[in-house]
Amino acid sequence: MNQGEQIRLENIADTETEIFALLKQRYSPRIFKKKKIEKGHLKQLFEAIRWSASSNNIQPWRFIYAEKDTDAYKSIFNCLSDFNKKWANNAPLLMLTAYKENTDDGKQNFHALHDLGLCLGSMTVQAQYMGIGLHHMAGVDWKGAQNVFEVPDGFHVTTAIAVGYYGGILDDLSKDLQEQETAKRERMPYEHFAYKEVWNKENKKL
């Protein structure tokens, strides 16, 4: 077992109550095996997306993806924030996510971003089942990506995703990122975001 695989085991969440094992195991790695994503596995990820819930079955999500050592991969990488550029080239595959802003009749699709999030959740669980880690990134120059990839009007690039098999080498990261990769995982208690019957006005964090 290499260091990367050990980290995956160490990063199992310490949940307050028992939940589905794949959800406990999921985390956002910055290191990956130096292995190309198999075509069949990629198809499974997109199949999980196909069957995600969406308002009126509009399925407003869109993706651009590219394998390492291609011009398109470099273009996605160049659209990432400086912080994400420190590690994202460890991933054998990079993606951009986007959503269709309006319905076919020209009305604003208020739920499109919600539906994109739902499909990414489905893809994340499917990926975890196959030993694939996803690192979702908000740090992306979406306007630059829209321009580089000639995304048509009416579609909005939203996030980027680093995709790769678990099991990378910790030493591939800088010391500060190694510390983040191995740090204890923490989450706020559910009482801070789930209120019974009335909004919790005493919660100063919200």
In a domain, residue 96? The reply is yes
In a domain, residue 201? The reply is no
pLDDT in single tens digits along all 206 residues of the chain: 455 555 555 578 889 899 999 999 999 999 999 999 999 999 999 999 999 999 999 999 999 999 999 999 999 999 999 999 999 999 999 999 999 999 999 999 999 999 999 999 999 999 999 999 999 999 999 999 999 999 999 999 999 999 999 999 999 999 999 999 988 889 999 999 999 999 987 765 55
**Cα 88 to Cα 7: distance, rounded to the nearest angstrom:** 18
Can you give the pLDDT at residue 1?
Answer: 47
Closest CA to 110 of 71, 32, 56: 56
Q: How many domains does the chain have?
A: 1
The 3-class SS string of 124-177 reads HHHHHHCCEEEEEECCECHHHHHHHCCCCCCEEEEEEEEEEECCCCHHHCCHHH
In a domain, residue 20? The reply is yes
In a domain, residue 13? The reply is yes
The tokens for 86 are 């420190």
Which domain does 132 fall in, by range? 3-192
The tokens for 26 are 């999921």
Instruction: Give residue 172's identity as a one-letter amino acid code.
Output: D
**Cα 86 to Cα 174: distance, rounded to the nearest angstrom:** 8
In a domain, residue 145? The reply is yes
In a domain, residue 34? The reply is yes
Closest CA to 182 of 35, 80, 31: 31
Closest CA to 28 of 140, 146, 163, 158: 163
Q: What is the CATH number of the domain that holds 43?
A: 3.40.109.10
Q: E-assigned strands of the chain? A: 61-67, 93-100, 132-137, 155-165
- Cβ atoms of 33 and 168 closer than 8 Å: yes
**Cα 187 to Cα 89: distance, rounded to the nearest angstrom:** 28
β-pairing, 61-67 vs 132-137, is unpaired
Can you give the pLDDT at residue 5?
Answer: 57
Sequence-ordered list of residues with C-beta below 8 angstroms from that of 1, at least 6 positions apart, any chain: none
In a domain, residue 203? The reply is no
